[in-house]
Structure 1
């Protein structure tokens, strides 16, 4: 009722000072068979300008053949076949006979009052080698106006994509809402879409309540007086219903936002047969991990993927649940993308985007190793990218995601060496305002595990554990070596973080290979940031947001942190220590505690 009053009020006041009469805005059509046109639309030359909504797209025209023409941005003309005023939807056809051409050219309707009708299911457009698709069905149909001698263009329902194996030879073009491409008996030709209807909806102006009750908008000469009365009534009603409406709209908005985001970003579920086909029967193995083997695969001729086949003899399914439950819902340039998964009987697999440069571990090397060293500027960019990825996990999601296994092996590099955090098998979720998380056992990799994770001699475990692991990773990047040099005998191993701290504390130059001007500053900045991050007391470590600011800054104002190794053992100038020195005094957490 309120929306009906407001809608009527707005246009009564809008037209009152023009002294417009009652019959100026009668329904009109283009020819005998065109759809009835009334507010918010008008037909140019047949209805006065004030009969339509002020936005230009609502001002229609008639073609020479009496088609009702809607002009959209980018000179796209549609012939309107029907206008559903109650649902606020128009059904139209492309004037050129093939609106698919417009859709695949990334047409934007953002500046238009119209949008493609949405639904929970999509129609996916594929480009396939000609005559490669054998299994035609209602859910997979050809689009003749795009197809030629070399390629067939197909539209396929997203619900049935995996059930048609021939589509794996095709290239995916785009997803479109299924209801946006309405079909009818005239367009159905057995195996193809000739030119299906296009469904467009509009949000403003809205008079759904008026239409649903059979009411119409009428303008009278005494509109100013009536408008004042309606204004007072509307304000009173709006005030009384404000709290309820606000809560209801927020709830509906959250539901719609969740469904839209889930349908557009959710990982695809594959069968085990799909996994075998993508990997060509597991032909190309990329590597092995604690929970399974990783294989190179193909979604199509142009899209490569990395597929981790989980080992059913290890773990209890937590690895699989953590991966799908965390990165399956998040999207960030510095977090690896989970494309899909397989849960077929007892078989489990995870399908990731393929990153050609492998992991950061491959490039941990001294600065004088020209075959593997990436350069100080690139190392700084990689460290910054990792920090931004951790910042997104800690602050950018609805829940805070603690990774608990940040290390070079779990940092993958794309073709431009942009880092992406991977392997969320040990991750935990917690609320952003939660200061600590419960742990039943230590998790992570020795050398990167924060003291509070490994032992209860320290305080509770929090997001600062990831900061510690990041600091160890940065120091390993700076030194171009493992945190502990395992090539030495056990009694002669060099603990690099303590060695680098002693050099900085004494004001000595870092003993790294420097070629270009400015590299020494970058190396020193990274070393100082790494030492800040590995402070033994979690309270002394910076937040990841502060770390990002430190990496983005010039570094001149960075101060050397307190000694992070003051844990009751006297620091030596040139420490030669046991490989287990890091946790030598810590009491390990028992599984049964």
Structure 2
């Protein structure tokens, strides 16, 4: 019975796998945009159950975007489903502003590249080389630097925040050339369960109910048979104890069989010589 239950379970999974292509077709925000598949979905273009929580994408101004509560909208540049890499761009072209404020700890994502601790410094006066200020975060009266390590903080600077980010600022590295690379840890099986949680949940509930009923029936049948055999053996044992033979009768009755007919009637029959 257990084999049958598991067979039905896996059959339902395979049937649901075939339904993925029908219920969750690929989509794009614009012709040249990235193709959106599991575990992502585009709000308004694909069913709501076709994505994992936190993987909803939006179409805005011919761009594919993803929203992070800690920062805002970022543009989806490309998605590699094999390597699970999501390349993002900041609409303001200030990737280190994103690094400073983006909090991935409450999302299903993490940075794709190796991280290192960097400290943001806000200085009222420019620092000498080799320090290079971040132009998109600096102004005429304040200068922001991202440094890996420092000894004594200059009097004109105040530490803003230390964060684990992939790289420091470099004037030779454009924001859109390196991009914001993040990845996700959701496995394909989890994606599948999320997409069909409602449908598969009903199937699993039915299968669990069938399994419980089958188990109860099997246990009841086994107990009934066990009780019947125990009762039968006790009956014959008690009957044999009541039958007593003398040694001479035992020798003479060696060829006689004792049994019971219908309704418990006793009979004896001679075995053939």
Sort the Cα spacing of 1:38 and 1:182 in 2 relative to 1 into closer, same or farther, 3 A.
Answer: farther
Q: 1:43-68 CA deviation, whole Å, 9 max, x = no partner? A: 12322223222x1x21111112x211
Deviation, 1:77, is: 0.6
2:49 aligned counterpart, secondary structure: helix
Given the two structures, how large is their TM-score scaled by the length of structure 2? 0.53
Deviation, 1:103, is: 4.6
Deviation, 1:40, is: 0.2
| 1:127 match | 122
Residues 123 and 155 of structure 1 are in contact (CA less than 8 Å); yes or no, is this contact kept in structure 2?
yes
- The alignment's C-alpha RMSD in Å is 4.2
| 2:57 match | 60
1:23 aligned counterpart, secondary structure: helix
| 2:106 match | 111
2:44 corresponds to 1:45: yes
Deviation, 1:25, is: 2.5
2:182 corresponds to 1:200: yes
Sort the Cα spacing of 1:142 and 1:13 in 2 relative to 1 into closer, same or farther, 3 A.
Answer: farther
Residues 118 and 177 of structure 1 are in contact (CA less than 8 Å); yes or no, is this contact kept in structure 2?
no
For structure 1, list consecutive stretches of 5 or more residues without a partner in the other structure: 1-8, 211-215, 232-593
Sort the Cα spacing of 1:174 and 1:60 in 2 relative to 1 into closer, same or farther, 3 A.
Answer: same
Q: 1:99-154 CA deviation, whole Å, 9 max, x = no partner? A: 5445545x54443222345635333322223332222xxxx543111101122112
Deviation, 1:172, is: 2.6
Selected match of 1:85 from 81, 86, 100: 81
| 1:152 match | 143
Sort the Cα spacing of 1:182 and 1:62 in 2 relative to 1 into closer, same or farther, 3 A.
Answer: farther
Sort the Cα spacing of 1:120 and 1:50 in 2 relative to 1 into closer, same or farther, 3 A.
Answer: closer
More strand by share: 2
Deviation, 1:166, is: 9.2
Residues 104 and 173 of structure 1 are in contact (CA less than 8 Å); yes or no, is this contact kept in structure 2?
no
Higher relative contact order, chain-length normalized (CA < 8 Å, sep 6+): 2
Residues 132 and 166 of structure 1 are in contact (CA less than 8 Å); yes or no, is this contact kept in structure 2?
no
1:22 aligned counterpart, secondary structure: helix
2:173 corresponds to 1:177: no
Residues 144 and 193 of structure 1 are in contact (CA less than 8 Å); yes or no, is this contact kept in structure 2?
no
CA distance in 1, matches of 2:86, 2:168: 11
Residues 70 and 78 of structure 1 are in contact (CA less than 8 Å); yes or no, is this contact kept in structure 2?
yes
Residues 119 and 162 of structure 2 are in contact (CA less than 8 Å); yes or no, is this contact kept in structure 1?
yes
CA distance in 1, matches of 2:73, 2:162: 22
Sort the Cα spacing of 1:153 and 1:75 in 2 relative to 1 into closer, same or farther, 3 A.
Answer: closer
CA distance in 2, matches of 1:39, 1:177: 28
2:30 corresponds to 1:34: no
Taking the TM superposition and a 5 Å limit, the aligned residue runs for 1:140-289 are 140-156=131-147, 158=148, 161-162=149-150, 168=154, 170-179=157-166, 181=167, 189-190=171-172, 197-203=179-185, 205-207=186-188
Aligned length: 187
Sort the Cα spacing of 1:193 and 1:152 in 2 relative to 1 into closer, same or farther, 3 A.
Answer: farther
Residues 27 and 45 of structure 2 are in contact (CA less than 8 Å); yes or no, is this contact kept in structure 1?
yes
CA distance in 2, matches of 1:47, 1:61: 11
Sort the Cα spacing of 1:100 and 1:23 in 2 relative to 1 into closer, same or farther, 3 A.
Answer: same
For structure 2, list consecutive stretches of 5 or more residues without a partner in the other structure: 1-8, 208-273
| 2:230 match | none
2:67 aligned counterpart, secondary structure: strand
Sort the Cα spacing of 1:102 and 1:38 in 2 relative to 1 into closer, same or farther, 3 A.
Answer: same
Q: 1:406-444 CA deviation, whole Å, 9 max, x = no partner? A: xxxxxxxxxxxxxxxxxxxxxxxxxxxxxxxxxxxxxxx
More helix by share: 2
Taking the TM superposition and a 5 Å limit, the aligned residue runs for 1:292-303 are none
2:137 aligned counterpart, secondary structure: coil
Residues 76 and 87 of structure 2 are in contact (CA less than 8 Å); yes or no, is this contact kept in structure 1?
yes
Sort the Cα spacing of 1:182 and 1:123 in 2 relative to 1 into closer, same or farther, 3 A.
Answer: closer
1:125 aligned counterpart, secondary structure: strand
